Structure 1
Amino acid sequence: MLDTIIAGALNYAQTMSHWETIAVILGVAYLLLAMKQSQWCWYAAFGSTAIFSWLFFDVSLLMESALNVYYLAMAIYGWVAWHKGAHSENESLKIQSWTMNQHALAIGSVLTISLCSGYLLSENTSAIMPYLDSFTTWGAILTTWMVTRKVLENWLYWLVIDGAAIVLYIDRELYLTALLMALYLLLATIGWFIWRKQFNQQTNDDSNLATVN
């Protein structure tokens, strides 16, 4: 199995789409900038997802293609939300942490919707791996919204979603994109620690301000 993957990756490297290369570079730029809470991350996200929308449609990952159309809208929304927060006292744009009840509701909803859409895709379309495709899609929809609201735990959600997405991309011979997801696993881990440190500092600052007042 490993030999097959390696051989396929080497063969793919020779015929790799320049568009996929650009999309991957922009995808990495997005995550690095998001880790720094830079508004420029949304420009990189828009360019990367526009390319991936077409690439995934071309290899019959229909839900992944639709997901990237959603990413385009979220790139615009995220830029507006972060831009507004940077020029106001809007507390909601600070890093926030969800309660266990919020996580339970979010995860339960993603699993339920994924089962429903996976079944519909398997019965009515030629989609590849419809249940896994659905899970990564609906999970990413939720988690992308979490990023736009600066929910701390978004990084943990990405670890699960990106790990599952690697299986999809290897199956479709999108090896560079699978490699991107593997890199995302590392960067998401780093992002978690960076945001958690900033969240703790933010909480301490708010506590000290409340004490002074």
Structure 2
Amino acid sequence: MSWLNSEAFTAFEQHIKWSDMIGNTIGLIALALGWRRSIWTWPVQFVSGVILFAAFASSHLTGSAGKQVVVMVVAAWGWWQWTRGRQQAQDGSIAIRFASRRERALLVAAAAIGTVAVAGLFTLEPSLSWDPWPDAYIFVGTLIAMYAQARGLVEFWFAWLLVDLVGVPLNFANGFAFSGFVYIIYGALVLWGMRDWWLRSRTSAKPSLEGAAA
């Protein structure tokens, strides 16, 4: 499997690795499935995580590699969440909603504290990461985003967008050009998915409000 970390081709003076290209292409498919609220987003995310873990681990980007471990673990949990007792929408897909104020506060606090803690660990042990703060930010941000997705929260799109803002330049700087290009596409899909989930959450809330009024 060593060919996964070999160069596939060069584009715009950037060296594209097989693992980087394949893993991120599968990741794009997973994101599209998430936008469609399909349960298959989770196993596809798991496969993407396995491939990208190998890519980042070989480049000493521990935070980004750890991010893929998070992807795999949360993908398994998300699959379980969406198949066991989660409220389903009328079309059979997962029901979605906005987080409560308390949930949002907890997500923001967890992101801030987690980033400081992980960055501190990376700073104390430089061999774990060559870019401790952005690496920690991506690692923790991914955990927050996938947790919110598993809970069916619209805010997961906002979390992914914030991760992308740091992930794009970090990937280009560390030789993962395909990841950088794909994260730009991720950004567009995130904005599209955010709008779709936002509108669907408002639509799904209407029947409950009408029922309460009755």
Q: TM-score range by the shorter chain?
A: 0.7 to 0.9
CA distance in 2 between partners of 1:209 and 1:55 (Å): 51
Q: Which residue of 2 aligns with 1:121?
A: 122
Is the 8 Å Cα contact of residues 17 and 176 (structure 2) preserved in structure 1? no
Q: Which residue of 2 aligns with 1:35?
A: 35
CA distance in 2 between partners of 1:205 and 1:128 (Å): 51
Is the 8 Å Cα contact of residues 168 and 183 (structure 2) preserved in structure 1? yes
Q: Which residue of 2 aligns with 1:4?
A: none
Deviations 1:118-140 (A, max 9, x none): 12212213211101110111111
CA distance in 2 between partners of 1:68 and 1:58 (Å): 13
Q: Which residue of 2 aligns with 1:107?
A: 108
Q: CA offset at residue 37 of structure 1? A: 0.3
Alignment of 1:180-191 (within 5 A): 180-191=182-193
Q: CA offset at residue 20 of structure 1? A: 2.0
Q: Which residue of 2 aligns with 1:84?
A: 84
**AA paired with 1:152?**
V
Q: Which residue of 1 aligns with 2:75?
A: 75
Q: Which residue of 1 aligns with 2:154?
A: 152
CA distance in 2 between partners of 1:32 and 1:85 (Å): 23
Pairwise CA RMSD of aligned residues? Answer: 2.0
Q: CA offset at residue 145 of structure 1? A: 0.6
Structure 1 or 2: more helix by fraction? 1
TM-score, length-normalised on structure 1? 0.86
- Residues 88/174 of structure 1: CA separation in 2 closer, same or farther (3 Å cut): closer
Structure 1 or 2: more strand by fraction? 2
Deviations 1:111-167 (A, max 9, x none): 222122212212213211101110111111011110011111111111111111112
Match of 1:165 among 167, 172, 181: 167
**AA paired with 1:173?**
G
Q: CA offset at residue 99 of structure 1? A: 2.9
Gaps of 5+ in 1: 1-7
The answer to whether residue 104 in structure 2 is matched with residue 135 in structure 1 is: no
Is the 8 Å Cα contact of residues 67 and 138 (structure 2) preserved in structure 1? no
Q: CA offset at residue 17 of structure 1? A: 2.2
Number of positions where the alignment pairs a residue of Structure 1 with one of Structure 2? 200
Q: Which residue of 1 aligns with 2:99?
A: 98
* SS in structure 1 at match of 2:14: helix
**AA paired with 2:117?**
C
**AA paired with 1:119?**
G
Is the 8 Å Cα contact of residues 24 and 182 (structure 2) preserved in structure 1? yes
The answer to whether residue 48 in structure 2 is matched with residue 48 in structure 1 is: yes
Deviations 1:15-47 (A, max 9, x none): x22222211111110011100101111121011
Q: CA offset at residue 85 of structure 1? A: 4.2
- Residues 170/94 of structure 1: CA separation in 2 closer, same or farther (3 Å cut): same
- Residues 94/143 of structure 1: CA separation in 2 closer, same or farther (3 Å cut): same
Q: Which residue of 2 aligns with 1:58?
A: 58
